[in-house]
Amino acid sequence: MVEYVTPYFRPPSEHKSFILQATIGCSHNNCTYCAMYRKDTQKFRVRPMEEIKGIIDNAVSSELITDRVFIADGNALVLSTNKLLEIMGYLKKSVPGLERITMYANVGDILRKSQEDLNLIKENGLEMIYIGFESGDDVVLERIKKGANFDETVEASKKLKKAGIINSAMVLLGVGGKERSIEHAHATGKLLTESDPEYVGALSLQIREGAPIHQEWKEGKFELPEKFQMIKELEIIVENTNLTNGYFFSNHISNYLPIKAKFPEEKDKVLEQIREVLKANNEDLLRPDYYRDVVNQY
Ligand code: SF4
């Protein structure tokens, strides 16, 4: 029996992975748009090693782990290198068919690790890290209390590349509000180009009760861009993003317009697709709000 502290979260692409909740919550827990770990029971803590090994043993005997493990919660890379190596070593020993280990991390978690430590973590099984870049605009990053700026995000990305850890970056349409929409989009494209992640996932901001931005929105201090403005942001981001060899997705449920492209080959094709939708200006071409589960009335 695996005891989870709920709710817990994982990227959509980890739906086949066993979720190993080695930490509870997020050590940063400060981003204004985030309502994920706000319950008292989710206060950040690290599970004792014996508990983690017990969870792995139980999952193995119940055949819950097959080949993929996602180490949760919000930023498992905050764990000490020794602890991470011990967990990954135990996983490898216990799960003979283990193919990949992934986790979420903050830019700060990566910068706090030495290059040698990151290399070691990669050699011992960490394949990919999911990072919330959210925006490349330092004004927006400051406002949303992301805890990292443009230059730090580029530096963290370079360290991952050097270690051979795959970088899956998330960016957030609408997070600059109406006011910084255009600046946010331009700077985000630039950040993606300089960071050159292997995967980019664009999400659209959904204002959730419990997140500090919900209060700002209720008080009229934050205005969410209109649907087509979000798509305009997507266009600008794609236009300004040059990946040497990566994938750009906006197929997350939160988005109005799902796109999927291999960069650089399919960049022009997908830009054309976005522009056609902008030109048509027809809501029927967009994913409906009820499907996106938008909280829009308070
Ligand atoms: S967005 Fe990520 S880093 Fe920010 S508070 Fe939420 S879980 Fe933590």
How far does residue 170's CA lie from ligand 1's centre (Å)?
A: 12
Instruction: Express each pLDDT in 142-151 by its tens digit.
Output: 999 999 999 9
Instruction: Give the tens place of pLDDT for each residue, 186-214.
Output: 999 999 999 999 999 999 999 999 999 99
Closest CA to ligand 1's atom 8: 29
Residue 276 CB burial class (10 angstroms; 0-12, 13-18, ≥19):
exposed
pLDDT of residue 263: 98
Tell me the pLDDT band of 298, cut-offs 50, 70 and 90: very low
Q: What is the rounded average pLDDT for all residues in the chain?
A: 96
SS3 of residue 31 by DSSP:
coil
With a cut of 50, say whether residue 295 has pLDDT above it.
Answer: no
Report whether pLDDT(170) > 60.
yes
Q: Quick one: which H or E segment has residue 217?
A: helix 212-218
Nearest atom within ligand 1 for CA of residue 36: 6
d(CA 76, ligand 1 centre) in Å: 12
Query: pTM of the predicted model, to two decimals?
Result: 0.96
- pLDDT, position 3: 84
Q: What is the pLDDT of residue 289?
A: 86
Between the CA of 8 and the centroid of ligand 1 the distance, in Å, is 12
Looking at residue 200, its amino acid is V
Q: Are 22 and 4 in contact (CB under 8 A)?
A: no
Ligand 1 atom nearest to 146, measured from its CA: 4
Q: Who lines ligand 1 at CB under 6 A?
A: 26, 28-31, 34, 36-37, 74-75, 106, 132
How far is the centre of ligand 1, averaged over its atoms, from the C-alpha of 1 (Å)?
A: 28
Residue 31's pLDDT is 98
What's the confidence (pLDDT) of residue 155? 98
Residue written as token pair 């990072």? 131
Q: Is 130 helix (H, G, I), strand (E, B) or coil?
A: strand
- Tell me how far the alpha carbon of residue 30 lies from the centroid of ligand 1, in angstroms: 7
At residue 134 the predicted structure's pLDDT band, cuts being 50, 70 and 90, is: very high
- Using a 10 angstrom Cβ sphere, with 0-12 exposed, 13-18 middle and 19 or more buried, the burial of residue 10 is middle
Cα angle vertex 168, ends 167, 174, to 5°?
Answer: 130
Does residue 41 surpass a pLDDT of 80? Answer: yes
Which residue CA neighbors atom 6 of ligand 1 most closely? Answer: 34
Q: Which domains does the chain have, with CATH numbers?
A: 12-283 (3.20.20.70)
